[in-house]
Structure 1
């Protein structure tokens, strides 16, 4: 959806399609009719934004064939859909029965990750609406933390230099600006904004920045105002914001039904004690309260003693758009866990999933309206 900041700057609100499993072009186009078109109708908006996820094989096919890119752009346009941002974190197979640590591979020590990201940049340059200033691609925060050493850091640094050069080449060839945002996440080489400042100190700040996931920010127990000030002082731009909410509970036992086999659910308490997954946190009996990297629908308030980190989301939005100018213009609702929610909360049909995503977007739009943003 297209929105406008009180100062007049355009803002873009979308939902991330990594919640859907298709990994070929025909399957992606089918998703548009199954989910995106009904969502747009429910919201009553003329244009619906998608934070498109393209698995590596389809990204490579699109990057190699201008006719395929033109086809995808037409399929989006005739349905009243547009794309200004791509999610380039999962490489492929993100909705497999078990994902866990596989989502961090290949990492930024590899050419595979570099090639995939530059493929996405080229695709996005052709998908961007003509009147949109720039596109964004989010990516993983270098790698999972273990193993990581100086040699791996050097490998990654060289690939980030090549990434910036490749983005400059895309701009030269297409006239479109594409920026890449690294997404701090618990358990990774870059977990927090502080680590982003340190470990991304030498990147090209014109083309590379941060994708700020608000569930991850909450799970690190970071305060949005302090985190954003830290990034600003370091000259690291927020390229993209992922509107997400994590689970929270003062009573850890209330979280047991959320332990599941597909995704990793990093857990941290207010004292800074951490576990890499819910099962590990239960086994170690970490004292509460816990915040859990489990993206839950942002519009839903679970029954006590469960809660979500929506207060962190609200505080972050106030910092990001509540001032005289917006600190970011791309906002993507990213709840990829609909299919692994406890059975009582899980959508049973595509129509129910579309209704749930529409409700999330409506919630996000209302939160932005409350800060003076208009449709």
Structure 2
């Protein structure tokens, strides 16, 4: 959905589809039919924004087949849906019985992450509504921090610099500006928004910024005002925000509180 900010700019609010995982293009089309359009109708809106998640195979199919991309664009229009952002964090298998640490693979030291994200940017440029010239793709915060070393860090910086160049070329070709946001998350190389400042400053490309997730801010005990001010002071662009929630317990050591929290334990995610 679109909202008018007091400063006159347009704010896009999107329903994230990774809660309904689909690995193939047919699965994505089924999401639009079974979930996204019904949500739009229930809200009573003529148009609903969706934050589309495209697994590796679906992204590759759309990036390499112009007719498939046109078909998806047509289906979005037909169902009163629009896409200005993609969730590029999970690569594949997000609906598997056990995801856990696999969600961080491939990381930004692996060339496959660069190729996948490039495909997503090209797809998004083709899906943006006619009256929208900018889009965003969120991605993982470099890698899970275990086994991360300077060699892998160098590879990641080089990959993101290459991505920035490709995004520049994409805008020249299509007139659409696509930006990528690293999504800080506990346990990762970029665990907090402050952790993002050094690597993004080293890359120095304004198309590579941060995706701020409110749940991750909370679980890292970051103050939102301080986090946003630090990013702004460092010249790091916030390309996207994800509005999600975290459980909070004032006294987690108490047995009854631990029992209550245990009800939320599940085998799929960390």
TM-score strictly above 0.5: yes
| Equivalent residues in 2 for 1:68-79, closer than 5 Å | 68-79=68-79
Q: Is the 8 A contact 1:83 1:128 kept in 2?
A: yes
Matches of 1:26 and 1:58, distance apart in 2: 8
Matches of 2:204 and 2:129, distance apart in 1: 25
Q: Is the 8 A contact 2:192 2:220 kept in 1?
A: yes
Could you say what the CA RMSD is over the residues aligned between the two structures, in angstroms?
0.9
Alpha-carbon distance, 1:187 to partner: 0.1
Match of 2:261?
255
Alpha-carbon distance, 1:94 to partner: 0.3
The residue matched to 1:95 in structure 2 has which SS? coil
Alpha-carbon distance, 1:174 to partner: 1.0
Alpha-carbon distance, 1:21 to partner: 2.2
Please give the per-residue CA displacement for 1:222-243, whole angstroms capped at 9, x wherever unaligned. 1000000110011001100000
Q: Does 1:128 align with 2:128?
A: yes
Alpha-carbon distance, 1:58 to partner: 1.0
Structure 1 gap segments, 5+ residues each: 265-375
| Equivalent residues in 2 for 1:31-46, closer than 5 Å | 31-46=31-46
Matches of 1:16 and 1:137, distance apart in 2: 12
Matches of 1:169 and 1:66, distance apart in 2: 18
Match of 2:196?
196
Please give the per-residue CA displacement for 1:235-275, whole angstroms capped at 9, x wherever unaligned. 001100000001111333320111111001xxxxxxxxxxx
Alpha-carbon distance, 1:7 to partner: 1.6
Please give the per-residue CA displacement for 1:123-167, whole angstroms capped at 9, x wherever unaligned. 000000011130000000000000111111101111011110111
Match of 2:102?
102
The residue matched to 1:249 in structure 2 has which SS? coil
After the TM superposition, which parts of structure 1 deviate over 4 Å for at least 4 consecutive aligned residues? none
The residue matched to 1:189 in structure 2 has which SS? coil
Matches of 1:226 and 1:130, distance apart in 2: 36
Alpha-carbon distance, 1:172 to partner: 1.5
| Equivalent residues in 2 for 1:1-375, closer than 5 Å | 1-250=1-250, 251-264=257-270
**How many residues end up aligned between the 2 structures?**
264
Matches of 1:205 and 1:234, distance apart in 2: 13
- TM-score computed with the length of structure 1 as normaliser: 0.69
Q: Is the 8 A contact 1:197 1:231 kept in 2?
A: yes
The residue matched to 1:212 in structure 2 has which SS? strand
Alpha-carbon distance, 1:200 to partner: 2.1
Matches of 2:200 and 2:153, distance apart in 1: 10
The residue matched to 1:244 in structure 2 has which SS? coil
The residue matched to 2:191 in structure 1 has which SS? coil
Please give the per-residue CA displacement for 1:99-118, whole angstroms capped at 9, x wherever unaligned. 00000000000110000000
Alpha-carbon distance, 1:199 to partner: 2.6
More deviation in 49-58 or 249-258? 249-258
Q: Is the 8 A contact 2:118 2:163 kept in 1?
A: yes
